Structure 1
């Protein structure tokens, strides 16, 4: 059971990295650029009537606001920074705990950190559904499921080890489990109600996907890669243990584990080649 869960975790780690790099990031960029082109085309005829001697579209694009790459960068950085702040706040409160053992405050802090991670995954899932791209929806859904299954198992194990009562464990697990579905549904309806024009919906969905890509990239680079490149010992907090930020013994992955990681990372790329939604 433990070995099977380890392979699921490794496959989910690869899938998370591949999804962020090959699915969410390109799709968000494409949606923003498509929205930008649509807005430029709609502005150009009006400007052409007013400034016929100005030579056209070049002047209009300057009036249209910041370029699309500005919003691409801002969305990615905001997603990355949010997850960084969540991690730092959780680590700060865990370190300041004066007790030597695991306390209720430590367990609640760790659960809150995991809830924020699950909420970010919910935003990614909601924006994927709003994009109406089957490839994006499928891969993001698989990445979220495979990434969160080991996290839920580890959270319950940690809370039991911390000595919490069964009802408290159930409440914290319920909060963790409900975060992604609630945020995904909320994100979907917010994006659908974000504006009447199709170009506003495209840009809102693109920003949401790039924000999600920033959160995925943070989890992939700060949590997932250390987890799969080291065989850590059991940590005192699930927020650290589940995402591999501990200081366990270093050791390479086995051949089968490495192939599992590569398969998980390559699957999103294969899906983008095999499935097209035009």
Structure 2
């Protein structure tokens, strides 16, 4: 299937699925326990997808780019030793793949950290001034930026052209966005916003990931006519999204899930997940690897 058609269909599915899932709290209330399990499964899927899919895929693409640049700049054997050394030093001026791997992962992680800190600061300031409408806008803006990072991951995944990566990243993003949509709508209802304004906030949140997914895909697709530049740009994009996945799962989702159990138990073990929660997390981490094996086997 053509990449443009694929990213269009995936973006439409993301938008419709996220909007429909976020609309559920407006119709009837879900139990906090079921929502917690969805959050844990989504966190596990994000970790598993980053560790088993996006990081290896990004590393592989950067290595392909590096090999393509090395083979395209091979020195003819008739050159003497001094010319080989000069040409060799010229072709080695670009950054090594190891540097780009660490840079992209760190930048993705740090980007989400900065977004969270800005969102927390604005939310705290707005609550002190007691402006519920402003608080709602701030909460939505923070989640829209989170969703945009998810869209970047989907666009980079489709740019790889591999069905395995596309399916697993899409499933991970959807399961991560579902509790986020639930939480946004529930928060806005608690803040006292009218239903029509809540729907507008949900619409903005649902559209953020598809818009950036389409934009990212076409930017990466047009990054250069050579396979080398496409491999490099897509690989950096995959690793950047892996850094955002790891931040959201380990710093944002899991601490919130653990802290929600504080009222259930007292003592030194109050921050530990229960057996079912732990098994759900392990299932989420392992599922991307199982899916990858099954799709590659086909």
TM-score (norm 2): 0.81
Please show how residues 51-70 of structure 1 align to structure 2 within 5 Å. 51-54=79-82, 60=88, 63-64=91-92, 65-70=94-99
Instruction: Say if 1:57 and 1:262 are closer, same or farther in 2 by CA, change over 3 A.
Output: farther
Instruction: Say if 1:59 and 1:161 are closer, same or farther in 2 by CA, change over 3 A.
Output: same
Unpaired runs of at least 5, structure 2: 1-29, 264-268
Tell me if 1:139 matches 2:159.
no
State the shift of 1:76 in Å: 1.3
Please show how residues 14-33 of structure 1 align to structure 2 within 5 Å. 14-33=44-63
Give, in whole Å, the separation in 2 of the partners of 1:37 and 1:78.
24
Preserved CA contact (<8 Å) 2:262 2:271:
no
Give, in whole Å, the separation in 1 of the partners of 2:262 and 2:147.
24
Q: Among residues 249, 264, 268, which one is paired with 2:288 in the alignment?
A: 268
Aligned to 2:73, the other structure's residue is in SS state: helix
Instruction: Say if 1:6 and 1:79 are closer, same or farther in 2 by CA, change over 3 A.
Output: same
Instruction: Say if 1:50 and 1:204 are closer, same or farther in 2 by CA, change over 3 A.
Output: farther
Q: Could you tell me which residue of structure 2 aligns to residue 40 of structure 1?
A: 70
Give, in whole Å, the separation in 2 of the partners of 1:189 and 1:73.
25
Preserved CA contact (<8 Å) 1:8 1:146:
yes
Preserved CA contact (<8 Å) 1:102 1:162:
no
Give, in whole Å, the separation in 2 of the partners of 1:131 and 1:49.
35
Q: Could you tell me which residue of structure 2 aligns to residue 238 of structure 1?
A: none
CA-to-aligned-CA distance 1:62-90 (integer Å, 9 cap, x gap): 63312111111211122112111111111
Runs of at least 4 residues of structure 1 off by over 4 A? 54-59
Unpaired runs of at least 5, structure 1: 235-248
Give, in whole Å, the separation in 2 of the partners of 1:119 and 1:174.
13
Instruction: Say if 1:229 and 1:50 are closer, same or farther in 2 by CA, change over 3 A.
Output: farther
